Amino acid sequence: MLKKNSSIKLIKYYNFINYNLIYNNKSINRYKKDNYGLSEDKTKNLESLKKSIINLKNCNLKKTAKNVVFCDGNPKSRIMLIGEAPGANEDEEGLPFVGRAGILLDKMLASISLDRKKVYISNIVNYRPPENRRPTDEEIKRYLPFITKHIEIINPKILVLLGSTAMNALIGKDIVISKMRGKWIEKKFGNCKTFVLITFHPAFLMRQPAQKKLSWIDLKMIRDKKSKLNI
């Protein structure tokens, strides 16, 4: 017989290793789709935007990519995060930030009591560039109207741009992330007026872990703004 203390420890351990995920033989659905009680209008607008992206012609990325990567998270959230482009795992699953950078992103969110059910996530480009190269200027230009429309539909109060590709695409070409990160910028995207924060991309932080201390400053800024805006 296990003593009470050992049983508690064992339960804690099973929760820690996410016992259900490991031993449950049902298929894994980590990012279970949820409608979040979304209005008909927003649902239609998002579906129609996704269709326009899927129907887009003259895009080389589509020749090599397996799936469109449109979004993850809560479309009702007032916090939207935008990365660069899908990688191999994202292409496989059709969801943004599910690879190693995604794991770090989840940890970053958790550090300020957020998770994917509380934010909305997308990318500048919706198809994986071959060999995970950066999207070219031409590719970014092609997808820019879509991500701008995406922001307008989601209408976030806080927009977090992860890395320089998202920053250069949406804020300006001649700026550098080392100077721009960690500052709130008010910006309009169509009818959406939002507070933008530029911060480091999680993939960059994996290569340059020393920069995590600056990233933590940015995360705390998001946490404070969220509370100030009553989100």
Residues in touch with ligand URA (CB under 6 A): 83-87, 90, 96-97, 101, 123, 203
Indicate the residue whose CB is closest to ligand URA. Answer: 83
Q: H/E element holding 104?
A: helix 100-110
**Start-to-end Cα distance in the chain:** 48
> How far apart are CB 98 and ligand URA at their closest, in Å?
7
Pick from 207, 194, 193: which is nearest to 159 by CA?
194
Residue (73 or 87) nearer to ligand URA, CB: 87
> How far apart are CB 165 and ligand URA at their closest, in Å?
7
Pick from 100, 139, 105: which is nearest to 122 by CA?
105
> How far apart are CB 180 and ligand URA at their closest, in Å?
17
Residue (59 or 231) nearer to ligand URA, CB: 59
Residue (6 or 208) nearer to ligand URA, CB: 208
Residue (105 or 153) nearer to ligand URA, CB: 105
Pick from 175, 166, 176: which is nearest to 196 by CA?
166
> How far apart are CB 6 and ligand URA at their closest, in Å?
41
Other Cβ atoms within 10 Å of 12 Cβ, number: 10
Residue (101 or 196) nearer to ligand URA, CB: 101
Report helix, strand or coil for 112: coil
> How far apart are CB 9 and ligand URA at their closest, in Å?
36
Residues 6+ apart with CB under 8 A from 104: 202, 205, 206
Residue (87 or 156) nearer to ligand URA, CB: 87
> How far apart are CB 122 and ligand URA at their closest, in Å?
8
> Does residue 118 contact residue 77 with C-beta atoms inside 8 Å?
yes
> Does residue 216 contact residue 111 with C-beta atoms inside 8 Å?
yes
Residue 219 corresponds to which amino acid? L
